[in-house]
Every structure is written in structure tokens, then in C-alpha cells.
Amino acid sequence: MKFWRNNGIFLACLFVTGFGSVEAQEKAPVQRVAKARLTPEVNDAISKGLAFLAKTQNSDGSFGDQRHPVADTSVSLMAFMLQGHVPSRGTYGRRNMDRAIAYLINVGKKGHKGYLGTPRHHGGMYEHGLAILALSEAWGQSLHPDLRTTLKKAVDITIYSQNQQGGWRYNPEPKDADLSMTVMQTVALNSAKESGISVPDETLNKAVEYVIYCQDRNSGGFGYNGPNGPGFARTCAGVMSLIMCGQRNHPAVKRGIRFMHAYPDQKFSGGSHFLYANYYAVQCMYQSSEADFNSYYPHVRDALLAKQKDDGRWSIKEGDTYSTSMAILILGVPYRFLPIYQR
């Protein structure tokens, strides 16, 4: 693995060997990731948050309080990568990131057919999707020999679990669907595909159809398992998944962006889905246009900076590890070290 910097551009190139007969389309790609400017306050806040995460990692490599260890570990791993930290290198690489990757891989080895979620748990497929997302972003940086195999098995489970409508639900079986779970799997599959894992176009096309079905065309908002009852968090998620599937200019995206802008400013103050909503909302605005991003991001940035504790953590309902990692992922979108944040 070679790393170099040139004129502010961070380049990471991985030459993959030792995986046996890897298909050409499943080679980890060359990553070219540029760093945008952040205010010193945001950069310091992110660094303090990462220091908090690093010192609270569990002995088995996981993060969090063990209620949702796969989810907490996945978002924590992505938080480190967001600031440009690399597995096996630097301050957090070997001590924290390598151990987190090994933990997720071990979960896959123990899970049925490589399942990364908690069996028969309503959050199991969320965990599974988050782990795919984190491992996809890590592939091309990590040297762990089992990462691709774990990722491929997990992706195969997600592909199998898609129902006839094109969506997903709580368990790895092709039954019913809802928007939130469908977005999670769509984002995960897109990230895996971008990392080099083969994902059928048909799978993603069906997912796009289901997401669009969930939009209320009058308001532009998205509902839970259909167009009824559109909400802000679901709309942010729906729009981002469509953008990731190459639908940036689709009328559904334009309608959704208008809905997000028009939604009352309580979206910046907190609430039960504050982190979930703005994780997607900031990415949507960044991908939509410079003007959209500049009109939205400062409000979320200022709200999050005000909520950080002296020890570097955030504590916003979902637990300190999840809150801290998600706050970092929201604040750090301008870093663009994670491939999913690139335009």
C-alpha cells in the first residue's frame, strides 16, 4: 500500500494480492480523495471526539455499551476514516481501527452464512447494513486478509433478502419492506459496489423504484412504507439513497430537497431522529449543490458544536458512542476522505 500527498490531495492506492481468483470487477479501486476546508473549531471538535472513542474501545475491539455493538463499531470505524486515519498506520490505525475491523470480521465468521446483524432482532439488518458500509469504506485501506470474503458474504445476504417490491425489513429474508431499512441496504450496497464488490444492477434499480414509491409527490416528503405520512428524517434518507444510485437529477430528488428546505427549523435543534436525519441531510445538501450545502451545513454545525461535552463526547439519546460517531460523520462531510462523501 502506498500513500502520498500532492497539492493537498490525498491519494491511497492498494494493490490487491493474495485473495485467490478475484474477479476483475472486484478489485479494490484506487481512491482519490480531496480534503475541503473546515473551521478550526470543527476540526478540534472532531479530534476530541475521536480521542474519546479511542479511549473507550472495548477489549474485544468493539465500541459501545454492547446493546448494539456492531452498529456502534461500524460508525466508530467510519468516524476514524473520515478524518483520514488509516488502518495499521498512525495514531489510531493499529490500536483502534485494526481491532474494530477484526471484530466485525469475527462477527461475520460466527454469523449464519456471514450475517453481520443480531439474529431475530428488529435492528439486525441495520447492523448488517452499517457493517457492510464500514467494511466497504475500509477495503482498499485495510490489509486484513479476510475482509473481502466477509464483505462478499454479507453483500450476498443483502441481495438475497430484497423483497419483490425492491425493499428490505428487519430480518434477512425477502418479506415485507420499509423505507428506512431499504435506504440502509441501498447505501450499503452502493458503497460495496463502489469498493469493487459485484452488485447486480437489477437489485439497485428495484431499490430505487421502491424508494420513489414511498414519496408523496404533493409535498415531496417520504413516508415509512408508502407515500403516506411523510417525515423529515425519512425524506433525508430517501433523497440520499436516490443520489447514491445515480438519480441526482430525478424529479423525486428535486422534490425531496425542496421539502427538506421548507421543513421548520426545529430540524436543527434536536429531536428523536436528529442525528439520523442530519447524517443524510448534510450529505444530500453537499451532493445537491454548493448553495444548498452552504445554506444548510452551518446550522447543523453550530448545533452540534454546542452539544459537545468537555471530554469530547456527544450524548444525544442513542448512547455516547453512537452519538459521538454520528456527530463526527455529520460535521466532517467537508473532509471528503470517505468515498461516500465525494461528489
Angstrom distance (rounded) from CA 297 to CA 184: 22
Task: Show the 3-state SS of 28-59.
Answer: CCCEEEECCCCCHHHHHHHHHHHHHHHHCCCC
- 262-274 pLDDT, tens digit per residue, is 998 878 877 779 9
Residue with cell 475521536: 50
Q: Compute the distance between CA of residue 179 and CA of residue 241 in angstroms, rounded to an integer.
A: 10
Q: Are 142 and 12 in contact (CB under 8 A)?
A: no
Flag whether 153 is in a domain. Answer: yes
Q: Quick one: pLDDT at residue 342? A: 58
- Is 22 among the domain residues? no
Residue 330 near residue 298, CB atoms below 8 Å = no
* Cell (9 digits) for 129: 447494513
Give the per-residue pLDDT at 32: 37
Domain membership of residue 19 (yes or no) is no
Domain-located, residue 188: yes
Torsion angles phi and psi, residue 9, rounded to 5:
-100, 125
> Residues 119-126: what's their mean pLDDT?
85
In a domain, 231, yes or no: yes
Percent of the chain topping pLDDT 70: 87
Q: Which residues pair with 3 in a beta bridge?
A: 12
User: Whole-angstrom Cα distance, residue 8 to residue 336?
Assistant: 12
Residue 229's region, left for phi above 0, alpha for psi from -120 to 50, else beta, is left
Instruction: Name the pLDDT band for 336 (thresholds 50, 70, 90).
Output: low
Cell triple for 220? 415531496
pLDDT class for 340, splitting at 50, 70, 90? Answer: low
Least confident of 2-6, 22-26, 36-40: 2-6
Q: What is the pLDDT of residue 30?
A: 38
pLDDT averaged over the chain?
87
Domain membership of residue 45 (yes or no) is yes
CATH number for the domain including 266?
1.50.10.20
pLDDT in tens, 57-76: 999 999 998 889 999 999 99
Cell of 77: 470505524
Closest by alpha carbon to 185, among 210, 168, 205? 168
Q: How far apart are CA 163 and CA 203, in angstroms?
A: 10
E strands within the chain?
A: 2-6, 9-13, 31-34
Torsions phi, psi of 309, nearest 5?
A: -85, 165
Residue 199, H or E segment: none
Quick check: is 13 in a domain?
no
pLDDT of residue 231: 95
The mean per-residue pLDDT over the stretch 1-21 comes to 26
C-alpha–C-alpha distance, residues 144 and 105, integer Å:
9
Over the stretch 26-53, which tens digit does the pLDDT of each residue have? 444 433 333 446 899 999 999 999 999 9
Under DSSP, the state recorded for 222 is: B
For residues 202 and 17, which has the higher predicted lDDT (pLDDT)? 202
pLDDT in the model for residue 341: 54
User: Which of these ranges, 2-11, 113-122, 219-228, has the smallest mean pLDDT?
Assistant: 2-11
113 vs 20, residue with greater confidence: 113
- Residue numbers of the domain that contains 159: 40-341
- Does some domain include residue 132? yes
Domain total in the chain: 1
